[in-house]
Structure 1
Amino acid sequence: MPHRIRTLLHPFLIAFLALAMLASGCGSKPTPAEEKRQGGEAAPAPSSTASAPQEREFKHALGTMKLTGQPKRIVAPYIEDALITLGIQPAAKWSLGDLVQDYLEPHLQGVPKLDFTGGLNNEALLSTNPDLIVLYTTNLAEKGAYEQYSKIAPTYVFNDATVDWKQTLKTLGDMTGTSDKAGKAIAAYDSKVANAKTKLQPFVKDKTFAVIRAKPKEIQLMDGSFYSGLVLYADLALTPHKLVKEWSWQRAQTLSLEKLPELDADYIFVLVQSETSRPLLEQFQSSPLWKNIPAVKNGHIYEMPSNYWMASGAIANTAKIDDVLKTLVK
């Protein structure tokens, strides 16, 4: 090749080689200074533990339960009120034969029943494929049941979840990552209670109250420490009749016709467990002893839905307050 042509090509050859070297370095890792000039940051090195679910421990009535991650399929018989309040659909719902918690049915369409007739069927529980089981009372964990349930899924046992429904809600909120919803539900309930007490005050001052329950074989004077008693006497601060305070405060007692004249409360709420309970109630109602108690004579006997008056939770207790307001505030 003539010398003049080689001289002319020399600059082009250098440029070509420089471009080739630049292209070959495109896949190499930029230096920190280059990253800063380009306005980006290096991706963090992958970590094998960064996304691993954490294991948490929860102490309960019968020991300690360990949970890994947030449970999704929860079976909490008779505490469905709390799960619904937290925006969680249970994997199964409590039943006793055909009896279910009717007031929750609008929220539980399509949820399979878990029948407690004769005790819980472990095969039925297993078929729900739970990743968390919650028992509302230690009674459900007796005779080796707790050990059997624990083999199916992590199992938490309350002493009695229905007594302090707010703490029950907080505990479930902590387990399921819904503590914010638990707090909001409790605040809304407390606000409702405060407003209800203000509305009721002119109508309930110096008045006494009682709740009786008709069952197929007995009429009970209900206690003041569970279910409706907690709402009426603790939350709404209604005055329990002296017979309630002195005789049935801690445990419902069988109310005989002979005892009935002592129940001279100003207002009586009546709960009917089922239609098979109504004949005995009608027998009471036909007695002169019933007709002569003040609440009957003054037209202050009110039948209320047994279903949620014998339940506990934000939904049930809110409904009870609504019933009391509709009945007493004129």
Structure 2
Amino acid sequence: VDFYTPAALVDLGITPVGVVQSYFDDGAAIPEHYRSEVTDSGATSIGEYYELDVEAVSTTDPDLILATDDFLPLDDPLRDKLESIAPIITFKARDGESWRTRSTELADILDREDALEPLVADYNSRRDEIAERYSDVLDNETFAVFVPTADEWGTYADTHFSTPILRDLGAHFREQRDDEINENGFPNWFSYEELGRLDNVDVIFTPVTDRAVLDKVEGNELWKRLPAVRNGLVFEYIPDSPTGSYGWALENLDALDDLLGTVSAAR
């Protein structure tokens, strides 16, 4: 009943009988490998993670319901209805390490450590290889993931769920002011009159979800004055950044390998 654990299950050789609607929708930030694995298996859509269809959950007749604490906290009244269907295991979701701890805990619970171990080894080896290849960039540049909307902007912290693999590679994130992130690691939002806050970042990554919004930002005079912009060090961020599992993390390592190569060539 969440966005992440279907991928963690697939890594362990288990296909869930029900998944959230995101796995059936084009444009969701989920690697195609995981989308096709669950949809081709005949899995049932159980609504979206923020608007579950309890009746659809029931029709899948699950032995176990997996959840995360962001959309199904322990005090959510919906839990009583779901627990009448099957036991619930709840994992942490929105921090920089949750993708890793969720994967390892799930493997332990389901006695599938043997299935996870090769992925862990591959991830660690690939991460270290990329970190060494781009050590000059990672050690000497500061990074920000800049998120524009039509009227406001924010930046993801290094603990955000969309930045863990970049951080795991050893990237140094720009120092954020106290008012730029909230207690959950989510960005606070600012008007474009405050773009000068980004004068302390060398390299800007930005998810391109709306080209018209980014075009508007690029025409902003304050944006044009930023060091990263003047130096041509603004790049599109990796598309499936909210990492859900070790296999997902490996795909993001490949994407970051390409991205850091582009950054290195542009410096």
TM-score by length of 2: 0.82
Q: Give the counterpart letter for 1:156 in structure 2.
A: I
Matching of residue 107 in structure 1 with residue 33 in structure 2: no
2: distance between equivalents of 1:77 and 1:194? 28
Q: 1:161·1:168 contact (CA, 8 Å) conserved in 2?
A: no
Matching of residue 181 in structure 1 with residue 106 in structure 2: no
Q: 2:80 aligns with which of 147, 152, 172?
A: 147
Shift of 1:137: 1.6
Q: 1:224·1:248 contact (CA, 8 Å) conserved in 2?
A: no
1:47-97 CA-to-partner distances (Å, cap 9, x unmatched) read xxxxxxxxxxxxxxxxxxxxxxxxxxxx66431221111121111222259
2: distance between equivalents of 1:125 and 1:309? 27
2: distance between equivalents of 1:137 and 1:144? 13
1: distance between equivalents of 2:115 and 2:177? 35
Matching of residue 194 in structure 1 with residue 120 in structure 2: no
For residue 62 of structure 2, give the secondary structure of its aligned residue in structure 1: coil
Larger radius of gyration: 1
Aligned to 1:90: 16
Over 3 Å counting, the alpha-carbon distance change for 1:224 and 1:244 in structure 2 is: farther
Aligned to 1:301: 234
Q: 2:172 aligns with which of 239, 257, 260?
A: 239
Structure 2: stretches of 5+ with no match in the other structure: none
Aligned to 1:121: 53
Over 3 Å counting, the alpha-carbon distance change for 1:299 and 1:169 in structure 2 is: same
Matching of residue 262 in structure 1 with residue 197 in structure 2: yes
For residue 108 of structure 1, give the secondary structure of its aligned residue in structure 2: helix
Aligned to 2:101: 167
Over 3 Å counting, the alpha-carbon distance change for 1:317 and 1:245 in structure 2 is: farther
Over 3 Å counting, the alpha-carbon distance change for 1:217 and 1:83 in structure 2 is: farther
- Matched pairs, number: 251
Q: 1:222·1:244 contact (CA, 8 Å) conserved in 2?
A: no
2: distance between equivalents of 1:269 and 1:244? 18
Q: 2:68 aligns with which of 136, 158, 171?
A: 136
Aligned to 2:188: 253
Q: Give the counterpart letter for 2:38 in structure 1.
A: L
Over 3 Å counting, the alpha-carbon distance change for 1:288 and 1:139 in structure 2 is: same
1:164-189 CA-to-partner distances (Å, cap 9, x unmatched) read 22221122112322111122222221
Over 3 Å counting, the alpha-carbon distance change for 1:133 and 1:101 in structure 2 is: farther
Shift of 1:222: 0.9
Q: Give the counterpart letter for 1:321 in structure 2.
A: L
Structure showing greater relative contact order (alpha-carbon pairs closer than 8 Å, 6 or more residues apart):
2
Shift of 1:312: 3.0
Q: 1:211·1:222 contact (CA, 8 Å) conserved in 2?
A: yes
For residue 162 of structure 2, give the secondary structure of its aligned residue in structure 1: helix
For residue 109 of structure 1, give the secondary structure of its aligned residue in structure 2: helix
Q: 1:138·1:158 contact (CA, 8 Å) conserved in 2?
A: no
2: distance between equivalents of 1:207 and 1:138? 32
Over 3 Å counting, the alpha-carbon distance change for 1:305 and 1:217 in structure 2 is: farther
2: distance between equivalents of 1:316 and 1:186? 11
2: distance between equivalents of 1:282 and 1:253? 22
Structure 1: stretches of 5+ with no match in the other structure: 1-74
Q: 2:58·2:85 contact (CA, 8 Å) conserved in 1?
A: yes
RMSD of aligned Cα (Å): 2.6
1: distance between equivalents of 2:232 and 2:111? 48
Matching of residue 78 in structure 1 with residue 14 in structure 2: no
Shift of 1:254: 1.3
2: distance between equivalents of 1:231 and 1:310? 9
Identity of aligned residues (%): 24
1: distance between equivalents of 2:11 and 2:18? 16
2: distance between equivalents of 1:101 and 1:112? 19
Q: 2:207 aligns with which of 262, 271, 274?
A: 271
Q: 1:224·1:244 contact (CA, 8 Å) conserved in 2?
A: no
Shift of 1:246: 7.8
Q: Give the counterpart letter for 2:5 in structure 1.
A: I
TM-score by length of 1: 0.68
Q: 2:92·2:98 contact (CA, 8 Å) conserved in 1?
A: no
Over 3 Å counting, the alpha-carbon distance change for 1:118 and 1:199 in structure 2 is: closer
